[in-house]
C-alpha cells in the first residue's frame, strides 16, 4: 500500500580517514559536498590500540587504515571548517572510545558548540574486539566498565549521543552465521545494559536502553539477511520488554546502522562487487519495519587496496539513487504477512535464542568470550570449505572464472596509495606538540586520570581534562594499561584437530612423510606482526595446517618482529607464515626478515598473506619471501601443499 507521505531516507555515510588529519578533513568536506549526510571516521591502528604515532609498535601502521589522532591538535585539524553542532558523526573506535570522545568534546567546545546538542555515535563495543577485530587493550571487566562510564556520562551531558554501537558487523566478517550474529550481538547488549543499570537512576534507565544502537552486516544471501534484520527487531523488542521492563515502545526500537559485507568482496573480477554491494543494500532497506537508520557502503575495489574518492562516490551514488529515484520510501512494509518471510524469521529467532541460552549459562557475554571465539573460527572454516568444494558458488572465484580484463582496474592509479611521507609528517607534528605543551598541566591531568581509574569513578571527566591539557593518545592509554593491565584474547584455534578432515588424507600422508624425513613433526609458526587485529586468515591457515597434521604455533595478534623471531628460535620452526591485512606488509615483513637473518635463521622459509598488490609482491620476493597469498588464494589445501614442498628435505622435492 502506498503511503500518503514519503519516508525520510537513512543517513548516507562513507567510512573514511587516511594519512593525516588534514588529508582526511579534505576528504570529509569533499564527501559532504557530494551529498553525504553524516561522517563515519576511520582511525588508524595506533589510535585504535592506544599508541602514539612514534611508538615502536606504530611503525609502518600510521595513517594506513584510517586517520592518526594523537592529541587535540590532530582532532582539531580533522574537523576544521566542519561545524560539529550541525554534524552527525560516527566514530569507529572501541578500546580508546572514552579518549576519542573526550577529544571530540574538547574540539566542539573550542568551536563554541552546545555540547548537549552533539549528535553521533562511538562504537565502544569491546566484546566483539576480543572476537574479531582485535583492537582491545585491557581485560574484559575493566573494558566493560569503561563502556558504561561513557554511556552514563552521555546520559547526563550528551543526551543525543549514542554511547555504544553493539557491533555485529565484524562477527559476520569473522564467519558468524546469522543465528550467531543475532545471539552474540544481543548478548553483548545485555552485558552492557546489566552493568549500566547500577550507574544511572532507575527512572532514566529506559531512556538509556533507547540510546543503545547497533551496527550490523548484510551479506549476499539478501533474503536471509532481510529476515535476520526483522528477527533483530523482534528479539530486541522482546528483550527490552521482558528483561528490562521497558514500557515505552520508542525505547525498545531496534536502531541500527549498517555497512554491507566486505568479506564477500572478491579480488577476482572486482567489478562484480558493485552488484554484490547493491543486493546487500536492499537487505537493509527494503523492509520498512527493519530499515537501517544509517548506511555506509564499501567500495567495489576494497579487496584490491585503498579506494579512491571516486570509488567512494560511486557507492554513495548507489544509496542516493535507491532513496531518491526509486519509489522504495513511498510504501508500507512490503513483507508483513508474508508466510515465507515469517517462517525464516521464526527459524532465525529460535536458533538465536538457543545460542543466547548457552551464553547466559556461561555468565553472559564476558564469560563466554572463549566459547564465542571458537564458534566463529569453526563457522568461518565451514564457510571456506563450502567455497573450496564448490558447494557455495562465488561468481568469478570458483565458477565462471574466465572473463574479460576489467578496464576499471587498469592503470597505475586504479587504487589509492597512502602518502609515503604522511607518517614522517605526523611524527614531526607530534614531536612539536609534545615540546610546546605545558608539562605540569599534562602531569596533573594524568594523575587525576589514574586516580579515577583506580577508585572507580567515571573515566570521562578526567579524560576530557586530559584532552584539553594536551595529553596524547599513548599517554592516556598508558595510564589505562598500568591500572587495568593488558590482555591477550583467546585465538579460537584449538590444538586438537577438528572433525573436518574429509579430503585431507593425501595431505596428511605427505605431512607424515616429510615429518619423518625431518626427524620430527613439521613445525609451522603463524605470526601476525604489527597492530593488525584482523585474524580470520591467520586462524584459518593455522587450523587447516593443524588438521593436516602439522605442529602449529599461533599465539594470536599484535606480535612484535622480535617476538616472532624468538618464537621461531624457541620452537625450531620449519616454516613461518606472516599475516598482515593493514597494508603495512612491506615494512613489517622487511623487519622480520632482517631480524631472522641477524639471528642466524635466514634459512627458514617465510610465506606472507594479506591484501598485497602485485608490485608489493615483487618487493617481498626480493626480500626473500618464498610464497605470497592474497584473498584470491581461497584454496587452503593448495597453500598447505606449498608449505609441505617448501620444507621437504628429500631430494625429489626439489625436482
> What residues are labeled active site?
15, 169-170, 528, 532, 534
Paired with 11 in beta bridges are 294
H helices within 325-405, ranges in order?
339-361, 369-389
Element (H, E) at 586: helix 585-598
Residues 103/467, Cβ–Cβ less than 8 Å: yes
SS3 call for 325: coil
Paired with 213 in beta bridges are 165
Residues 245/209, Cβ–Cβ less than 8 Å: no
**Which one, of 114, 17, 123, lies nearest residue 74 by Cα?**
17
For the chain, give percent helix, strand, coil, nearest 5: 55, 10, 35
Q: What are phi and psi of 335, to 5 degrees?
A: -120, -5
Element (H, E) at 296: strand 294-296
- The CA-atom distances, in angstroms, between 567 and each of 177, 581, 600 are 34, 21, 14
Query: Cβ–Cβ contacts within 10 Å for residue 103, how many?
Result: 29
**CA 156 from centre of chain:** 29
CA–CA gap between residue 612 and residue 492 (Å, rounded): 26
**Which one, of 211, 222, 229, lies nearest residue 292 by Cα?**
229
H helices within 174-248, ranges in order?
178-196, 205-211, 222-242
CA–CA gap between residue 485 and residue 478 (Å, rounded): 10
CA–CA gap between residue 631 and residue 512 (Å, rounded): 28
CA–CA gap between residue 201 and residue 152 (Å, rounded): 10
**Which one, of 176, 288, 183, 270, lies nearest residue 232 by Cα?**
183
Residues 291/285, Cβ–Cβ less than 8 Å: yes
| Length, in residues, of the chain | 655
Place of cell 548537549: 116
- The CA-atom distances, in angstroms, between 47 and each of 19, 65, 407 are 12, 11, 36
Amino acid at each position: 500500500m502506498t503511503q500518503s507521505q514519503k519516508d525520510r531516507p537513512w543517513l548516507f555515510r562513507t567510512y573514511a580517514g587516511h594519512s593525516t588529519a588534514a588529508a582526511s578533513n579534505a576528504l570529509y568536506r569533499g564527501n559532504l559536498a557530494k551529498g553525504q549526510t553524516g561522517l563515519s571516521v576511520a582511525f588508524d591502528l595506533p589510535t585504535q590500540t592506544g599508541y602514539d604515532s612514534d611508538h615502536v609498535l606504530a611503525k609502518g601502521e600510521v595513517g594506513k587504515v584510517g586517520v592518526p589522532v594523537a592529541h587535540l591538535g590532530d582532532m582539531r585539524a580533522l574537523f576544521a571548517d566542519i561545524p560539529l553542532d550541525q554534524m552527525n558523526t560516527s566514530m569507529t573506535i572501541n578500546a580508546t572510545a572514552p579518549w576519542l570522545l573526550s577529544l571530540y568534546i574538547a574540539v566542539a567546545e573550542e568551536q563554541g558548540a552546545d555540547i548537549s546538542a552533539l549528535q553521533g555515535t562511538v562504537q565502544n563495543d569491546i566484546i566483539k574486539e576480543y572476537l574479531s577485530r582485535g583492537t582491545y587493550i585491557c581485560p574484559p571487566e575493566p573494558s566493560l566498565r569503561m563502556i558504561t562510564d561513557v554511556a552514563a556520562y552521555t546520559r547526563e551531558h550528551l543526551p543525543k549521543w549514542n554511547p555504544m554501537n553493539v557491533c555485529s558487523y565484524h562477527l559476520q566478517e569473522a564467519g558468524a552465521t546469522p543465528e550467531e550474529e543475532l545471539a552474540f550481538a544481543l548478548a553483548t547488549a545485555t552485558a552492557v545494559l546489566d552493568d549500566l543499570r547500577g550507574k544511572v537512576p532507575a527512572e532514566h534507565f529506559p531512556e538509556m536502553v533507547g540510546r543503545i544502537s547497533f551496527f550490523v552486516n548484510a551479506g549476499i544471501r539478501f533474503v536471509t539477511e532481510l529476515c535476520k534484520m526483522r528477527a533483530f527487531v523482534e528479539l530486541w523488542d522482546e528483550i527490552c520488554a521482558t528483561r528490562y521492563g521497558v514500557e515505552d515502545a520508542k525505547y525498545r526500537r531496534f536502531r541500527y546502522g549498517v555497512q554491507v559485507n566486505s568479506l564477500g568482496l572478491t579480488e577476482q573480477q572486482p567489478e562484480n562487487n558493485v552488484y554484490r554491494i547493491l543486493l546487500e543494500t536492499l537487505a537493509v532497506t527494503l523492509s520498512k519495519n527493519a530499515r537501517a537508520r544509517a548506511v555506509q557502503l564499501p567500495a567495489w575495489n576494497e579487496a584490491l587496496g585503498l579506494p579512491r574518492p571516486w570509488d567512494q562516490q560511486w557507492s554513495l551514488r548507489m544509496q542516493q539513487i535507491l532513496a531518491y529515484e526509486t519509489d522504495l520510501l513511498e510504501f508500507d512494509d512490503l513483507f508483513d504477512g508474508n508466510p515465507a518471510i515469517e517462517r525464516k524469521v521464526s527459524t532465525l529467532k529460535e536458533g538465536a535464542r538457543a545460542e543466547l541460552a548457552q551464553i547466559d549459562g556461561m555468565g553472559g557475554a564476558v564469560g563466554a568470550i572463549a566459547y564465542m571465539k571458537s564458534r566463529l573460527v569453526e563457522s568461518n572454516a565451514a564457510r571456506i570449505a563450502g567455497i573450496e568444494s564448490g558447494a557455495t558458488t562465488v561468481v568469478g572465484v570458483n565458477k565462471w572464472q574466465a572473463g574479460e580484463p576489467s578496464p576499471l582496474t587498469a592503470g597505475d592509479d586504479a587504487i589509492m596509495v597512502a602518502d609515503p611521507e604522511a607518517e614522517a609528517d605526523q611524527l614531526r607534528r607530534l614531536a612539536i606538540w609534545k615540546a610546546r605543551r605545558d608539562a605540569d598541566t599534562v602531569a596533573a591531568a594524568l594523575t587525576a586520570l589514574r586516580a579515577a581509574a583506580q577508585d572507580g569513578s567515571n573515566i570521562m571527566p578526567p579524560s576530557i581534562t586530559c584532552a584539553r591539557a594536551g595529553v596524547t593518545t599513548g599517554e592516556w592509554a598508558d595510564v589505562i594499561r598500568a591500572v587495568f593491565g593488558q590482555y591477550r584474547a583467546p585465538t579460537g584455534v584449538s590444538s586438537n584437530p577438528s572433525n573436518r578432515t574429509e579430503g585431507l588424507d593425501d595431505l596428511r600422508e605427505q605431512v607424515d612423510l616429510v615429518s619423518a624425513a625431518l626427524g620430527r613433526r613439521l613445525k609451522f609458526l603463524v605470526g601476525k606482526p604489527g597492530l593488525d587485529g584482523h585474524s580470520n586468515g591467520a586462524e584459518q591457515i593455522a587450523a587447516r595446517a593443524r588438521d593436516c597434521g602439522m605442529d602449529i604455533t599461533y599465539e594470536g595478534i599484535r606480535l612484535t618482529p622480535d617476538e616472532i623471531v624468538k618464537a621461531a628460535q624457541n620452537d625450531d620452526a620449519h616454516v613461518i607464515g606472516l599475516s598482515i591485512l593493514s597494508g603495512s606488509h612491506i615494512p613489517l615483513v622487511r623487519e622480520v626478515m632482517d631480524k631472522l637473518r641477524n639471528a642466524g635463521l635466514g634459512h627458514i622459509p617465510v610465506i606472507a598473506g594479506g591484501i598485497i598488490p602485485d608490485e608489493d609482491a615483487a618487493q617481498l620476493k626480493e626480500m626473500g619471501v618464498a610464497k605470497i597469498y592474497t584473498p584470491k588464494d581461497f584454496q587452503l589445501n593448495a597453500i598447505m601443499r606449498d608449505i609441505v614442498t617448501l620444507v621437504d628435505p628429500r631430494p625429489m622435492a626439489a625436482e
